């Protein structure tokens, strides 16, 4: 982040400008700021408040900064502050404007647009295009996508490597074990803590329907 002077530690073979210096006069994107350690949060706050940075090993050499900061977070920073995982003063410093991006599970239409774009990027110039079959879209829409776009990309890559005739079908999709299918009727059952009823509903109604959509069994099985 802040750079270092040559020979300040064993692997420092040359002077190195940190990302703040390299972004000076422009925009710096800090991805997943909620995952920064408390030490880095403290150092980042110091730089943002002073608008100055010094390389490691050069405390006397201060460089002025003039840049825009954009930060992304996977988790709610206010909740992280309440849990003691994120500094409240740093949250306030970076919260000049906030944009919430809904998770992928709330954007089914965007999901298929993104999937088509990913398939186009995987295609080699001499190859015919790849596409999603209709029977692949239902389980994709029903999946929770806890890893959001990153998980979608990995799922598309895996499916593209095993599909036949350059068409991704239901049987080509492999979801992460941590994920789950969204149940349109599950909310009331879970709220009522009626897990036996929920499991019975899964076995009798939802799983046969998903399997039928994948072409594995008949809808009445």
What's the rounded mean pLDDT across residues 168-174?
A: 91
Query: Residue 166 above 70 pLDDT?
Result: yes
Place of tokens 């039928």: 212
pTM of the model: 0.59
Angle between helix axes 148-162 and 108-122 (nearest 10 degrees) is 50
Whole-number CA gyration radius for the chain: 24
What gap in Å lies between CA 132 and CA 156, rounded to an integer?
10
Output the six-digit token pair for 68.
């825009």
Confidence of residue 216 (pLDDT cuts 50, 70, 90): low
Which are the contacts of 24, defined by CB distance < 8 A and separation ≥ 6?
A: 63, 65, 66, 67
Structure-model confidence comparison of residues 6 and 79, the more confident one? 79
What is residue 191's predicted lDDT score, i.e. its pLDDT?
42
The tens digit of pLDDT for each residue in 12-61 reads 788 888 899 999 999 999 999 999 999 999 999 999 999 999 888 888 88
Output the six-digit token pair for 33.
């700021």
What gap in Å lies between CA 121 and CA 36, rounded to an integer?
31
The tens digit of pLDDT for each residue in 97-125 reads 888 888 888 888 899 999 999 999 998 88
What gap in Å lies between CA 76 and CA 52, rounded to an integer?
28
The tens digit of pLDDT for each residue in 184-215 reads 444 444 443 444 555 555 565 566 666 666 66
Dump the DSSP string for 77-132. Answer: HHHHHHTTSS-HHHHHHHTTS--PPPPGGG-HHHHHHHHHHHHHHH--TTSPPPEE
The tens digit of pLDDT for each residue in 72-84 reads 998 889 999 999 9
Output the six-digit token pair for 17.
């400008």
């Amino acid at each position: 982040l802040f750079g270092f002077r040559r020979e300040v530690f064993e692997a420092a073979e040359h002077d190195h400008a940190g990302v703040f210096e390299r972004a000076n006069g422009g925009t710096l994107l800090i991805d997943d700021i909620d995952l920064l350690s408390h030490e880095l949060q403290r150092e980042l706050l110091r730089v943002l408040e002073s608008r100055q940075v010094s390389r490691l090993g050069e405390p006397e050499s201060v460089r002025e900064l003039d840049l825009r900061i954009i930060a992304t977070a996977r988790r709610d920073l206010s909740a992280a502050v309440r849990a003691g995982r994120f500094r409240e003063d740093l949250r306030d410093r970076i919260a000049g404007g906030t944009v919430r991006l809904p998770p992928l599970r709330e954007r089914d239409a965007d999901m298929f647009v993104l999937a088509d774009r990913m398939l186009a990027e995987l295609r080699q110039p001499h190859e015919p295009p790849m596409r999603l079959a209709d029977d692949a879209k239902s389980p994709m829409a029903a999946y929770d996508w806890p890893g959001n776009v990153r998980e979608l990309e990995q799922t598309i890559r895996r499916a593209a490597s095993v599909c036949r005739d350059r068409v991704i079908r239901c049987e080509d999709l492999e979801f992460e074990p941590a994920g789950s299918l969204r149940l349109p009727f599950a909310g009331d059952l879970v709220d009522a803590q009626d897990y036996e009823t929920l499991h019975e509903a899964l076995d009798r109604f939802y799983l046969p329907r998903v399997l039928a959509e994948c072409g594995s069994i008949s809808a009445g099985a």
